[in-house]
Amino acid sequence: MIHERNEGDIYATYEKGIYVLHIMHDYDAQNPRHWDNLGEFVMNHSRYSYGDRNYTNSNKYAEYVEGIPEDAVVLKVYMFDHSGLIFSTSPFGCPWDSGQVGLIWADRKKALDWFNETEWTDEFKERVLEILKGEIKELSLYAEGNNYGFCLHKVTDCEHCGHESEETIESCWGFLTENPVKYILEELPQEFRELFRELMT
Protein backbone atom coordinates (compact mmCIF):
# COMPACT_ATOMS: atom_id res chain seq x y z
CA MET A 1 0.00 0.00 0.00
CA ILE A 2 1.27 3.48 -0.81
CA HIS A 3 -0.05 6.84 0.37
CA GLU A 4 1.47 9.89 -1.35
CA ARG A 5 0.98 13.32 0.16
CA ASN A 6 2.08 16.78 -0.87
CA GLU A 7 1.78 18.42 2.53
CA GLY A 8 4.28 18.25 5.36
CA ASP A 9 7.53 16.37 5.39
CA ILE A 10 6.35 13.00 4.03
CA TYR A 11 7.00 12.34 0.35
CA ALA A 12 5.60 8.79 0.38
CA THR A 13 4.68 6.03 2.82
CA TYR A 14 4.92 2.28 2.19
CA GLU A 15 3.40 -0.37 4.45
CA LYS A 16 4.29 -4.05 4.51
CA GLY A 17 2.89 -6.08 7.38
CA ILE A 18 4.04 -4.54 10.65
CA TYR A 19 6.66 -2.37 8.91
CA VAL A 20 6.14 1.21 7.73
CA LEU A 21 8.62 3.11 5.59
CA HIS A 22 8.37 6.90 5.37
CA ILE A 23 10.33 8.67 2.64
CA MET A 24 10.73 12.24 3.81
CA HIS A 25 11.73 15.62 2.46
CA ASP A 26 14.93 16.66 4.21
CA TYR A 27 14.48 20.35 4.90
CA ASP A 28 17.65 20.46 7.01
CA ALA A 29 19.91 19.07 4.30
CA GLN A 30 23.46 20.39 4.19
CA ASN A 31 24.73 22.29 1.19
CA PRO A 32 27.03 19.78 -0.58
CA ARG A 33 29.60 22.55 -1.01
CA HIS A 34 30.25 22.04 2.70
CA TRP A 35 31.37 18.47 1.98
CA ASP A 36 34.92 17.42 1.20
CA ASN A 37 34.97 18.34 -2.49
CA LEU A 38 37.66 18.14 -5.13
CA GLY A 39 36.65 21.37 -6.85
CA GLU A 40 36.33 24.93 -5.63
CA PHE A 41 33.22 26.75 -6.83
CA VAL A 42 33.67 30.50 -6.98
CA MET A 43 30.38 32.35 -7.53
CA ASN A 44 29.73 35.91 -8.66
CA HIS A 45 26.15 36.97 -7.94
CA SER A 46 24.46 39.87 -6.21
CA ARG A 47 21.81 37.78 -4.39
CA TYR A 48 22.92 34.15 -4.10
CA SER A 49 25.89 32.65 -2.28
CA TYR A 50 26.04 28.95 -3.07
CA GLY A 51 29.76 28.89 -3.79
CA ASP A 52 32.81 28.03 -1.74
CA ARG A 53 33.78 31.64 -2.44
CA ASN A 54 31.10 34.22 -3.15
CA TYR A 55 31.54 37.64 -4.70
CA THR A 56 29.09 40.44 -5.34
CA ASN A 57 31.81 42.66 -6.79
CA SER A 58 32.73 41.68 -10.35
CA ASN A 59 36.19 43.25 -10.06
CA LYS A 60 37.01 41.18 -6.98
CA TYR A 61 35.71 38.09 -8.75
CA ALA A 62 37.85 38.84 -11.80
CA GLU A 63 40.92 39.28 -9.59
CA TYR A 64 40.33 35.88 -8.03
CA VAL A 65 39.82 34.19 -11.40
CA GLU A 66 43.08 35.67 -12.70
CA GLY A 67 44.87 33.88 -9.87
CA ILE A 68 43.68 30.40 -10.86
CA PRO A 69 46.72 28.38 -12.04
CA GLU A 70 47.01 27.96 -15.81
CA ASP A 71 47.21 24.18 -15.56
CA ALA A 72 44.05 23.90 -13.44
CA VAL A 73 40.97 22.07 -14.71
CA VAL A 74 38.25 24.73 -15.01
CA LEU A 75 34.57 24.64 -15.93
CA LYS A 76 32.12 27.50 -16.29
CA VAL A 77 29.04 27.28 -14.05
CA TYR A 78 25.64 28.51 -15.18
CA MET A 79 22.45 29.14 -13.22
CA PHE A 80 18.81 29.17 -14.29
CA ASP A 81 16.67 31.26 -11.94
CA HIS A 82 12.95 30.87 -12.49
CA SER A 83 10.62 29.47 -9.80
CA GLY A 84 13.68 27.84 -8.29
CA LEU A 85 17.38 27.48 -9.06
CA ILE A 86 19.17 25.05 -11.34
CA PHE A 87 22.95 24.87 -11.74
CA SER A 88 24.80 23.35 -14.68
CA THR A 89 28.19 23.27 -16.37
CA SER A 90 26.42 23.76 -19.71
CA PRO A 91 24.57 26.94 -20.71
CA PHE A 92 20.79 27.05 -20.61
CA GLY A 93 18.68 28.01 -23.60
CA CYS A 94 16.97 30.96 -21.91
CA PRO A 95 18.92 34.23 -22.18
CA TRP A 96 16.68 36.13 -19.72
CA ASP A 97 16.63 33.87 -16.64
CA SER A 98 20.02 32.22 -16.94
CA GLY A 99 23.69 32.98 -17.36
CA GLN A 100 27.18 32.23 -16.12
CA VAL A 101 27.54 32.75 -12.37
CA GLY A 102 31.03 31.48 -11.74
CA LEU A 103 33.63 28.76 -12.19
CA ILE A 104 34.45 25.44 -10.59
CA TRP A 105 38.08 24.40 -10.73
CA ALA A 106 40.65 22.00 -9.34
CA ASP A 107 44.38 22.53 -9.39
CA ARG A 108 46.91 19.97 -10.48
CA LYS A 109 48.42 19.15 -7.09
CA LYS A 110 45.11 18.69 -5.28
CA ALA A 111 43.68 16.53 -8.04
CA LEU A 112 46.72 14.27 -8.19
CA ASP A 113 46.81 13.96 -4.39
CA TRP A 114 43.06 13.31 -4.31
CA PHE A 115 43.44 10.19 -6.48
CA ASN A 116 46.97 9.33 -5.34
CA GLU A 117 48.21 9.74 -8.92
CA THR A 118 51.43 11.18 -10.31
CA GLU A 119 50.77 11.70 -14.04
CA TRP A 120 48.87 14.80 -15.22
CA THR A 121 47.58 13.25 -18.46
CA ASP A 122 44.69 14.32 -20.69
CA GLU A 123 42.85 11.17 -19.65
CA PHE A 124 43.28 12.04 -15.98
CA LYS A 125 42.09 15.62 -16.58
CA GLU A 126 38.94 14.25 -18.21
CA ARG A 127 38.38 12.22 -15.06
CA VAL A 128 38.68 15.40 -12.98
CA LEU A 129 36.24 17.20 -15.28
CA GLU A 130 33.62 14.50 -14.68
CA ILE A 131 34.06 14.87 -10.92
CA LEU A 132 33.55 18.63 -11.16
CA LYS A 133 30.42 18.17 -13.29
CA GLY A 134 29.09 15.77 -10.67
CA GLU A 135 29.71 18.26 -7.88
CA ILE A 136 27.68 20.93 -9.68
CA LYS A 137 24.93 18.35 -10.33
CA GLU A 138 24.81 17.65 -6.58
CA LEU A 139 24.60 21.37 -5.87
CA SER A 140 21.75 21.71 -8.33
CA LEU A 141 19.82 18.85 -6.70
CA TYR A 142 20.26 20.57 -3.36
CA ALA A 143 19.18 23.99 -4.65
CA GLU A 144 16.14 22.45 -6.37
CA GLY A 145 15.02 20.85 -3.10
CA ASN A 146 15.71 17.25 -4.10
CA ASN A 147 16.82 16.38 -0.56
CA TYR A 148 15.43 13.27 1.12
CA GLY A 149 15.72 10.84 3.97
CA PHE A 150 13.81 7.87 5.33
CA CYS A 151 12.48 6.44 8.57
CA LEU A 152 11.70 2.74 8.87
CA HIS A 153 9.33 1.78 11.70
CA LYS A 154 7.98 -1.38 13.24
CA VAL A 155 4.36 -0.95 14.37
CA THR A 156 3.05 -3.11 17.21
CA ASP A 157 -0.13 -3.27 19.28
CA CYS A 158 0.33 -2.89 23.01
CA GLU A 159 -1.16 -5.95 24.71
CA HIS A 160 -2.01 -3.85 27.78
CA CYS A 161 -3.74 -0.80 26.33
CA GLY A 162 -4.45 -1.83 22.75
CA HIS A 163 -2.74 1.29 21.31
CA GLU A 164 -0.28 1.11 18.46
CA SER A 165 3.34 2.08 19.04
CA GLU A 166 6.17 2.67 16.57
CA GLU A 167 9.74 1.49 17.02
CA THR A 168 12.29 3.15 14.74
CA ILE A 169 14.45 0.49 13.13
CA GLU A 170 16.52 2.61 10.78
CA SER A 171 16.68 6.20 9.57
CA CYS A 172 19.05 8.11 7.34
CA TRP A 173 19.14 11.58 5.79
CA GLY A 174 20.98 13.67 3.25
CA PHE A 175 20.14 11.89 -0.01
CA LEU A 176 20.34 14.12 -3.09
CA THR A 177 18.30 12.57 -5.88
CA GLU A 178 15.53 13.18 -8.39
CA ASN A 179 14.19 9.66 -7.77
CA PRO A 180 14.04 9.18 -3.99
CA VAL A 181 12.01 5.96 -4.12
CA LYS A 182 14.53 4.10 -6.28
CA TYR A 183 17.53 5.63 -4.50
CA ILE A 184 16.34 4.93 -0.96
CA LEU A 185 15.30 1.38 -1.80
CA GLU A 186 18.95 0.58 -2.42
CA GLU A 187 19.97 2.25 0.85
CA LEU A 188 17.71 0.12 3.05
CA PRO A 189 19.16 -2.78 5.06
CA GLN A 190 19.20 -5.88 2.86
CA GLU A 191 16.29 -7.70 4.49
CA PHE A 192 14.01 -4.67 4.18
CA ARG A 193 15.22 -3.89 0.68
CA GLU A 194 13.75 -7.19 -0.47
CA LEU A 195 10.63 -6.69 1.62
CA PHE A 196 9.74 -3.35 0.03
CA ARG A 197 11.12 -3.93 -3.47
CA GLU A 198 7.80 -5.17 -4.91
CA LEU A 199 5.96 -2.11 -3.58
CA MET A 200 8.55 0.40 -4.70
CA THR A 201 9.28 -0.84 -8.24
Provide the residue ranges of all domains of the chain, joining segments of one domain with +.
2-29+152-200, 32-144
Q: What is the mean pLDDT of residues 172-182?
A: 94
pLDDT of residue 13: 92
Report the candidate in 170, 176, 167 with the shortest Cα–Cα distance to residue 189: 170
**What's the rounded mean pLDDT across residues 76-84?**
94
Q: Which of 96, 127, 97 is nearest to 112 (CA)?
A: 127
Q: What is the pLDDT of residue 159?
A: 58
Mean pLDDT over 144-150 rounds to 94
Helix 122-144 to helix 108-115 angle, to the nearest 10 degrees? 90
CB 152 within 8 A of CB 115: no
AA identity, residue 156: T
Backbone angles phi, psi at 79, to 5 degrees: -135, 135
